[in-house]
Chain A
Amino acid sequence: MKPLLKVDNLRIELTTRDGVAPVIDDLSLQLNAGETLSFVGESGCGKSMTALALMGLLPEGVGRVASGQILFDGEDLTQASDARMREIRGNEISMIFQEPMTSLNPVYTIGEQIAEVLRRHQNLSRQAAWNKAIELLDAVRIPNPGARVSDYPHQMSGGQRQRVMIAIALACEPKILIADEPTTALDVTVQAQIFDLLRDLGRELGTATILITHDMGAVADMAERMIVMYAGRKAEAGPVEQIIEHPRHPYTKGLISCVPHLMATLTEERPELTEVPGIVPSLRDFGRDQCLFASRCDRADDKCKTSRPPEIEFENEQSSACWQAEQLR
């Protein structure tokens, strides 16, 4: 089967005061129709930047695609015109942002904001788009949609606003939905509801989802495959359950074990959390010919500090960019 989205050797450069830095460095990935793929990593690892590149929303004048391809249904988005990108954005690829508080326009009713997408992309009449907006509010399980459709964003709770964002994103039944930390600002019970909703709607519409998060629990709950990003590079990729059981990259291992997870049965025992010392390197250090994780890794040796590890693929579809991936179990 041909993948819906295929990214080949993507390199994105940001121009900063210190010069040009590769925020995304040689990233390749595939996404199949209907599948959920997760990007995991700390902030500053390039997860959101990848999403913005897919949407053609890189910060203008600062970020640019330096090389590589983004093939969506066979079409290279890095070469697409602005007009073509506007057609695709919100229609075939759409995005939910992290902050439901700030990503809606406060001076328009939510009905107008949902209808706008439909009128722009599907040429619906004002009335038809309004009616469809009510249907969509119902689909994202907002009670009493006929009345709520004329509400302004400030009249809704955080969870409801994120539902409205989902309604806008799914209005045109896109092929890909990018959810950038859709629940970090929300309570756990609301998060669970939003995840249920994304899962159900994704299944109904056959939408492929890219879920960006730092929460391994959410990944385990939602995604089939994941890509662990570190400092703009792919650290590890593969099926979620396998990676959680046998991470092949020390960073993945650290990300999983540094968080105190709720387990099936809690015991008296409370081992120290595994620390990943230090922090993500600054943009200045991106792109060096070494393993960028080496400074935080307890297994690092001279080789790690002098040459960039290649991506090693394993039989079980897992791949890891670590010199010691074979020994790591």
Chain B
Amino acid sequence: MKEKTAKPLLKVENLTVRFPVKRGGLFSKKSYLYAVDDISFEIARGETLAIVGESGSGKSTAALAVARLVKAHSGSVLLGDDDFLSLQDEALRQARAQVQFIFQDPYASLNPRLRAEAVVREPLDSLGTGDPSERQASIDALFKAVGLRPEQQRLFPHQFSGGQRQRIGVARALATRPELIICDEPVSALDVAVQAQILNLLRKLQKDFDLTYLFISHDLGVVQHMCDSVAVMYMGKIVEHADRLSLFNNPLHPYTKALLSAVPSVDKKRRQETKRILIPGDPPDPLSPPNGCRFANRCPAAQEQCSQSQPPLRQIAAGHTVACHLVSDNGIAPI
């Protein structure tokens, strides 16, 4: 791993996203669902941070908030020196060119009435990057970079396969020469054999263009392959955050352990060594989260203190933080 002395490209501090929820009658009090609850992380230039978690954990909402596609309630998203969340007008337009997004579903995220070249051209035109006369040349280069043929520029999205559509999505994200690309489950809608093509492409582009990825996924195999560090989310909170090797080889939080143990593997050795950690039941109601640890009601190691106070994120080793009362300071996991 690279030395982390340089300033991080992206620094997210105390990000909170909440949604108003109507419950009960007309005059009942407005309540809020905290989809992302006070999370912080940073990504160094050229690296990949993966956020993993199950559905409802808030990982996608966090990604959308970082890109300002949903409104954050509080917190800051520092891109270099600027707080991306408070930029306005022209400064925002320029910053937007630096942060691009690859969406999950390539069938839904391309405008069916635009030709492939127009899809890729759109961010160039609307964010005004590059000389207009050179735009066609950069579209040609982008198509080449993502492995599409030049004559395919004239086709409409429905004429492409799922993998090719995702390539168009990648080309569109690259169009403005961004520094940060947020990939929200970029391969989960694709067939297994096609997933490998897109994952290899993303890794190659990262090297070629010195890109920084915020990678959202629920597939731990994919995450393991793509990331440099991982943040595990559960009910809007980061419960564990570590570099790739520490998290996968030495997970500390009971939830991380359970998550990893649930992944079926073709590796016989892993199947024999892994003890399945069962977490029965469902997460608690997100509208009224418990006072203590949010995982306590499903945690096989939970003790009394767990349901009384929320465990803070503590640093256990260099670059390894965990939010669990029961992990000892020298890094011994409760289970």
Interface residues of A (CB under 8 A from B): 42-43, 143, 157-160, 187-193, 195-196, 214-218, 220-222, 241, 244, 254-256, 258-268, 270, 272-277, 279-280
Contact = CB atoms under 8 A, between A and B. Distances in A.
B240 to A, nearest CB: 15
A42 B193 contact: yes
Interface of B: 54-55, 161, 163, 191-197, 199-200, 203, 218, 220-222, 224-226, 244-245, 248-249, 258-271, 273, 276, 278-282
Given A266-B244, A273-B200, A254 B193 contact: yes
Q: Which 4 A-B residue pairs are closest in the complex by CB-CB distance?
A: A260-B225, A217-B264, A258-B196, A192-B262
B263 A217 contact: yes
A95 B199 CA distance: 34
Count chain A CB atoms within 10 A of each CB in B222, B260, B282 and give the residue with the most. B282
B264 A193 contact: no
A224 to B, nearest CB: 14
A217 B265 contact: yes
Identify whether the interface residues of B are mostly helix, strand, loop, or mixed: helix
B200 to A, nearest CB: 6
Contacts of B267: 261-264
A221 B193 contact: no
A216 B192 CA distance: 10
Contacts of B261: 192
Contact of A262 (B161, B218, B263, B268): B263
Contact of B249 (A159, A220, A254, A266): A266
Contacts of B266: 216-217, 220, 244, 256, 261
A259 B192 contact: yes
A215 B196 CA distance: 13
Contacts of B226: 260
A258 to B, nearest CB: 4
Given A143-B281, A188-B259, A261 B221 contact: yes
Contacts of B220: 188, 262
Given A43-B191, A220-B271, A259-B221, A275 B196 contact: yes
A189 B244 contact: no
Nearest to A220: B266
Nearest to A40: B192
B258 A189 contact: yes
Count chain B CB atoms within 10 A of each CB in A220, A262, A275 and give the residue with the most. A262
A91 B279 CA distance: 32
29 contacts: A42-B193, A43-B191, A143-B281, A159-B282, A188-B54, A188-B220, A191-B264, A192-B264, A192-B276, A214-B191, A214-B192, A217-B264, A218-B264, A220-B268, A255-B192, A255-B193, A258-B195, A259-B192, A260-B199, A261-B221, A262-B265, A262-B267, A264-B267, A265-B249, A266-B244, A272-B200, A273-B199, A279-B163, A279-B191
Contacts of A157: 282
Contacts of A216: 266
Contacts of B191: 42-43, 214, 279-280
A187 B54 contact: yes
